[in-house]
């Protein structure tokens, strides 16, 4: 690990209250009232599904499995 590396560089800061859609990896979409609820639903998936699943913020980015665990709720520190 580089001396310049910071744990905050690993985190993806998001607004947990934004609506999102979970794609369970088999094409089944579940609309969730919040990103946080979509992530909680992702955690309940079977391991084989988690790898293929995505979470899309409505009007925003799509997060793949390797990014979902990096999501951190709140603003990025200055």
Task: Give the pLDDT mean for 5-24.
Answer: 86
Domain count, the chain: 1
Tell me: the pLDDT tens digits for 59-70? 999 999 999 999
7, part of any domain: no
Structural domain for 28, as ranges: 18-73
- Put the strands of the sheet holding 54-57 in their side by side order: 29-32, 20-23, 54-57, 62-64
Task: Give the pLDDT mean for 22-48.
Answer: 96
52, part of any domain: yes
24, part of any domain: yes
34, part of any domain: yes
6, part of any domain: no
5, part of any domain: no
Is residue 3's pLDDT more than 70?
Answer: no
How far is Cα 2 from Cα 69, in angstroms, rounded to an integer? 22
13, part of any domain: no
């Amino acid at each position: 690990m580089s001396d310049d590396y910071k744990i905050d560089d690993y985190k993806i800061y998001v607004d947990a209250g934004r609506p999102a859609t979970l794609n369970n990896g088999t094409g089944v979409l579940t609309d969730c009232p919040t990103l946080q609820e979509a992530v909680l639903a992702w955690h309940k998936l079977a391991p084989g599904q988690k790898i293929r699943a995505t979470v899309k913020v409505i009007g925003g980015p799509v997060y793949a499995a390797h990014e979902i665990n990096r999501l951190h709720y709140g603003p990025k520190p200055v």
